[in-house]
Amino acid sequence: MSSTLGTNYKISIFGESHGTAIGAVIDAPPPGLEIDMEQVLVQMARRAPDGKDGSTKRVEADTPHIQSGVLDRDGKCIATGAPLCVLIQNTNTRSSDYQNISHIARPAHADYTGYIHYHGYNDIRGGGHFSGRLTAPLVFAGAVARQALAKMGIRVCAHIASIGDVCDTPLDPCAIPAEISERLSQSGFPVLDEVQEKLMKNEIERARMDADSVGGIIECAVTGIPAGIGAPIFDALECKIAHAVLGVPAVKGIEFGAGFAITRMRGSAANDPMRMQGDQVVTTSNNNGGILGGITNGMPVIFRAAVKPTASIGLPQQSIDYVDKQEADLIIKGRHDACIVPRAVPVIEAAAAVAILDEIMAEGKYE
């Protein structure tokens, strides 16, 4: 019944697309953490729609207003360690766009399931609490988390591994240089291969021209994470990351390391050989994505998330009226993204950062 995640860096997300405000309570950031608000805004901007590359043309200010949990010390924003509440006003809510939807469910959206779950009381304007807009406070929480992680030398970055059938070069799972991690985690359309970037943008534009949409895969890497983080069975780090990442709307799958491809390898190829690099234990491949027995081995944590094509498309669709219980055709008017994958990248990074910081704090290993 809850939009809460974590135990020590616990986030509680609230809001509806067309309500007064959305936001989150973080209970609580590490006391004394200096929050670089400019870097937070960089992350927020990556997620916000800008009308380019198939995103909607709405201008959402998405300015986070911190209500509690911080102090101004010499012009710096310092977390006190008490719960931090952030608020993002809903300023641009043209609800008329959604008025023709009424009770005809948008296929692949939560209109019908939300109606059933909330006994008809859910706010359906703009998707209500199910709106992708709710990822904005998650990105805020992730932006703070990644600053805390950075103090320990842990970096989180991701790139667009694919849009439809167009694939980027994969990350080297054994070695992600800091400058690449840095560049990707600041980019609005993070890819490694510029040629593929152009092809991806073409793919999105073609979908947009067809009033259709397209999905993709996001590959995320966490570098600098020490060995020993996680736990066996249900507190495996994979469980915690997957729990957070699958909470992001439109994500339909997650795989670690070689993931589904590992099922087609033999053990002799899949098992990552172990070597010493100075006094550091390393593996010469990383098919296990840096996690063994639910616990990090010191290699980069690598995972991929599958993002489905935007459910809102301009083409006519077969649907039903869930109040009148009869079939109905649906044409969704108004604005929508032809592809949310680029905007989802900082959200996936945020989910990973939140899950990992929470685990590190819960193990008493935050420094």
Residues 305-364, interacting with a copy of itself (CB under 8 A): 306-313, 315, 317-320, 322, 325-327, 361-364
Nearer to a copy of itself, 161 or 180 (CB): 161
* Positions 214 through 273 that interact with a copy of itself (CB under 8 A): 214-217, 227-236, 238-240, 242-244, 246-247, 249, 251-260, 262-268, 270-273
Nearer to a copy of itself, 113 or 169 (CB): 113
* Minimum distance, C-beta of residue 213 to a copy of itself, in the bound complex (Å): 4
* Minimum distance, C-beta of residue 294 to a copy of itself, in the bound complex (Å): 7
* Minimum distance, C-beta of residue 331 to a copy of itself, in the bound complex (Å): 12
Distance CA 139, CA 178 (A): 21
Residue type, 131: S
Nearer to a copy of itself, 38 or 119 (CB): 119
State phi, psi for 328 to the nearest 5 degrees.
Answer: -160, 145
* Minimum distance, C-beta of residue 133 to a copy of itself, in the bound complex (Å): 12
Contact criterion met (CB below 8 Å) for 53 and 343: no
Nearest to 270 by CA among 298, 289, 294, 293: 289
* Minimum distance, C-beta of residue 138 to a copy of itself, in the bound complex (Å): 8
From the list 68, 92, 102, 202, which residue makes contact with a copy of itself (rule: CB under 8 A)?
Answer: 68
Q: At what angle do helices 37-47 and 135-151 cross, to 10 degrees?
A: 140
Contacts of 284 (CB under 8 A, 6+ apart): 174, 272, 273, 275
* Minimum distance, C-beta of residue 179 to a copy of itself, in the bound complex (Å): 28
* Positions 101 through 130 that interact with a copy of itself (CB under 8 A): 105, 107-110, 112-114, 116-123, 128-130
Nearer to a copy of itself, 83 or 334 (CB): 83
* Positions 7 through 36 that interact with a copy of itself (CB under 8 A): 7-8, 10, 12-16, 19-23, 25, 27-28, 31-32
Question: Dihedral, CA atoms, 292, 296, 300, 303, nearest 10 degrees?
Answer: 60
Contact criterion met (CB below 8 Å) for 140 and 35: no
- Using CA of residue 94, residue 249, residue 340, residue 185, what is the dihedral sign? positive
* Minimum distance, C-beta of residue 191 to a copy of itself, in the bound complex (Å): 15
Nearer to a copy of itself, 153 or 177 (CB): 153
Task: Say whether residue 61 binds a copy of itself (CB under 8 A).
Answer: no
Angle at the Cα of 64 from the Cα atoms of 63 and 65, rounded to 5 degrees: 115
Cα 6 versus chain centre, distance: 16
